[in-house]
Chain A
């Protein structure tokens, strides 16, 4: 079974600073996808970034980047130049290639302090 662990229930960061959210997962699969979703107070789930396991290069999307360590089964999210609008719950998620099911971590509540 796939499990996703987010060990930081809450984090805070000063505006304009950088923060890293951690995520580890457990799987016996070799081909899969990893995602970070953001859920702001509106509760709308928004895709932040995705990573294919077969790609060694870390995914980046503007201020968001990941550190994907396949051997260590680690998938951390780095947010640079944090903005007030980044305040949200962040969920790490896993999906096996060819499957439909997304497995979510328990989330990290990030607060950006002005």
Chain B
């Protein structure tokens, strides 16, 4: 139980385009979803927290207009990287917590590798 999926697993795009990453909780209702960014050989950096039906809360230094987060249902959250640039290239990971799981425990998706050319 408590499986989280992400799609796509990797994406290559041209500079200036927008990229959407989906995060789904497959077997539980995720009242809260989280988006992280991980640079090579580094730890996870929390970007934002989203509660279903509410606006996301962004961490300091994360541009909310660049990283659009939508959590429209209890099983789906999306992260859109708008007007992507090479410095946005990274590994993006989502996690979820919620009903029928231990609320304090986050379950992670497999990650999405983004490369902006």
Contacts and interface: CB of A to CB of B under 8 A. Distances in A.
Interface string B84-114: 0000000101010100001011111111000
Interface SS of chain B: strand
Interface residues of A, number: 20
Interface residues of B, number: 21
A48 B84 CA distance: 34
A105 B46 CA distance: 12
Interface SS of chain A: loop
B44 interface: yes
B49 interface: yes
B110 A35 contact: no
A46 B43 CA distance: 14
A44 interface: yes
B35 interface: no
A106 B42 contact: yes
B110 A44 contact: yes
A47 B2 CA distance: 11
Interface of B: 32, 34, 38, 42-44, 46, 49, 91, 93, 95, 97, 102, 104-111
